[in-house]
Chains A and B, each alone.
Chain A
């Protein structure tokens, strides 16, 4: 009887167009939207030259160090250039600033450089900081030149050539760059989290499958439920067979999504396949358990139950970062209890643990939490279902 139910539930589910939409089509559709929306976001966040202009006045042409350094920092042949600079008039600079074509411009007033910006911001601070740096070069150059002259005098050099000193000073300044070693972590693309939330959402949408399965076995919801409740087969056998069929449909849905993620969207999970599958299976189980408990506890029509499940899934996905990655982190920091009981956040966090360096303890904790959550929900559902008795149907 178990396999009989399994087979027919599988057939019924595969003919339910609404279920097929939520399980197969919607996550892939959303994944496609993510791919479109986030394809440029990582590169947009990465540093690129700040667009500025310098007013091409006589003061600028005669500014010596200032002109040299600005040109050096804007050199198109250098990969690490800081500025993309235009040398234009004051009027043109003001117009470009108003149209947001540049982040700011520099002009000389009373012989001193002055920065003009439309508003505060990181790019504007980079411009200010660079001009500060150029300003400080003047003092540094004076100090170094003074030291050089002192040393040469001490060494008994009689004819000190100022041009030689200037060249030596510039060489010393260029030679004094700070030495750094970049040990940044490799996986820092936070848009990847969005795809993790998508898998989480798909797992939770699995609840619609189990809800449909349970509803069909409830005498007050479905004609099939009436018939099975008066059949001699134990309720648990019928339900388990149907739920297993639901799980199979859900796993196929997740597999299709994963194939899209790997081969079409080309997402780097930063992990091997087995832990990804384990986490997806635990997430699917939790999604199914939520569907079972909603079907069992909520006394409403099938559409209302579907609405509730979708609302739960969307809210869970929202708090796990689907509509803005920082949301999960903000909740984790300020209201951690919310994401500790949010299955979508557990799934997302499990994937994050794999992606950002493979913290297996954190991964295992999330898988265990999902299993415990599923166990508790299923236990409650079983107790409630066992107590349901009907005087007449």
Chain B
């Protein structure tokens, strides 16, 4: 097993790059798990992040602040940091209650509230809440004589809440984390597999080493088999590590659940496909400098246009159509499908199984192409 051992020795030499890609995956997983995701089972109101500057401090301005506090998460930042917080969506909406707000309202005026918004859905929700409260308060300020009474009536009118029934029994949080993390694997996983396998095979195909191999006692079939075996073992390791990370981030109970195992099967099909892509690239070039470029173009490029980083629904329709010719699309498509699939019965599983079959068909295609290229190179 000399070739097998050498494979791992070369992997160790390139451990720095392997660790870098793994670190990116871990950092992404950790950050992803701290992001907001829809809650599970019971309905939870979304709470926009808002900032309130109350320059009046009257009964009515305090009542408005209290209402918004009940419905939104209040963020406190310095005046100079407000714009950056809006830019990075740390705040969705800001409102500044002007001086004499309460007294102006009671005097029949409609004082102007200064707002800053990022024009997003949470910002629209906050705006809707402000509008709902403001309209009610304005009405009562016209029929009541003091601020306390207006506040009391406003609160009473806004008290009633409609009942909400939630139909899905899926754990939205876990599914959101798992899907986000596994979609990111389309970049880091593929890069890890292509980079390492191509680097190792390129080392074996270096002219001086290749010549020694050719005159050595080991048959080229055995030599190739050991390279294939070690590449497969390496790919399996990447798959196992990916799923262990998924277990750490989302929970091992999720990974071992039927849905988690389906995600695992999809990752397996994708890593296998990445292995066949790596072997094809090895046949096309053994230039180590070129390999770095190919890894970034293939892994990063396909992850970008197939929804590895940005959800595919945000892409233009034409790009989504083009993405169909890339295996990464079918991988992320299946992950996204598992996220929303309600029941795990055969009928529901059909589209996911079809996507996985397409991934495997891609793999077979790459293997055939690899053989064609190898034969053509040998003949030449």
Stretch of A1-9, A136-144, A153-161 on the interface side: A136-144
Q: Shortest Cβ distance from A189 into chain B, in angstroms?
A: 9
Contact B118 A184 (CB under 8 A): yes
Of chain B, the residue at the smallest CB distance from A50 is B121
Contact B340 A100 (CB under 8 A): yes
Contact with B along A315-337 (1 / 0, CB 8 A): 10011000111110110000000
A352 to B88, CA, bound (A): 11
B256 interface contact, C-beta 8 A: no
Known: A33-B304, A173-B139, A356-B84. A182 touches B161 (CB 8 A): no
Stretch of A21-29, A229-237, A377-385 on the interface side: A21-29
Contact A126 B121 (CB under 8 A): yes
Of chain B, the residue at the smallest CB distance from A173 is B139
* B residues near A26, Cβ cutoff 8 Å: 293, 296-297
Q: Shortest Cβ distance from A337 into chain B, in angstroms?
A: 15
A183 to B119, CA, bound (A): 12
A125 interface contact, C-beta 8 A: yes
B146 interface contact, C-beta 8 A: no
Contact B164 A128 (CB under 8 A): yes
Of chain B, the residue at the smallest CB distance from A115 is B164
Interface residues of B in 202-234 (CB under 8 A from A): none
Q: Shortest Cβ distance from A259 into chain B, in angstroms?
A: 21
* A residues near B35, Cβ cutoff 8 Å: 326
Q: Find B139's partner among A45, A144, A314 (CB 8 Å cutoff).
A: A144
* B residues near A77, Cβ cutoff 8 Å: none
**Total number of A residues with any Cβ neighbor in B under 8 Å:** 87
Contact with B along A116-140 (1 / 0, CB 8 A): 1111111111101111110110011
B290 interface contact, C-beta 8 A: yes
Known: A117-B167, A121-B38, A311-B17. A29 touches B31 (CB 8 A): no
B257 interface contact, C-beta 8 A: no
Contact A118 B168 (CB under 8 A): yes
A147 to B39, CA, bound (A): 43
Q: Find B112's partner among A30, A117, A179, A303 (CB 8 Å cutoff).
A: A179
B247 interface contact, C-beta 8 A: no
Interface residues of A in 251-295 (CB under 8 A from B): none
Q: Shortest Cβ distance from A190 into chain B, in angstroms?
A: 6
Contact B292 A143 (CB under 8 A): no
Q: Find A29's partner among B44, B121, B297 (CB 8 Å cutoff).
A: B297
* A residues near B300, Cβ cutoff 8 Å: 30, 33
A188 interface contact, C-beta 8 A: yes
Of chain A, the residue at the smallest CB distance from B128 is A129
Contact A46 B120 (CB under 8 A): yes
B369 interface contact, C-beta 8 A: no
A41 interface contact, C-beta 8 A: yes
Q: Considering residues B87, B129, B140, which has the most beta carbons from chain A within 10 angstroms of its beta carbon?
A: B87
Contact B162 A181 (CB under 8 A): no
Contact A40 B316 (CB under 8 A): yes
Known A-B contacts: A128-B162, A177-B138, A188-B118. Give 18 more (CB < 8 A): A39-B316, A119-B166, A120-B42, A120-B166, A120-B172, A121-B46, A122-B121, A126-B124, A143-B153, A179-B110, A179-B113, A181-B115, A311-B16, A311-B17, A318-B24, A326-B88, A326-B89, A352-B87
Chain B residues within CB distance 8 Å of chain A: 13-14, 16-17, 20, 23-24, 27-28, 31, 34-35, 38-39, 42-46, 48, 71, 83-84, 86-90, 95, 110-125, 127-140, 142-143, 153, 156-168, 170, 172, 184, 187, 199, 288-290, 292-293, 296-297, 300-301, 304-305, 309-310, 313-316, 319, 340, 342
8 contacts between A and B (CB under 8 A): A37-B315, A97-B167, A98-B167, A122-B125, A183-B115, A183-B116, A323-B24, A326-B88
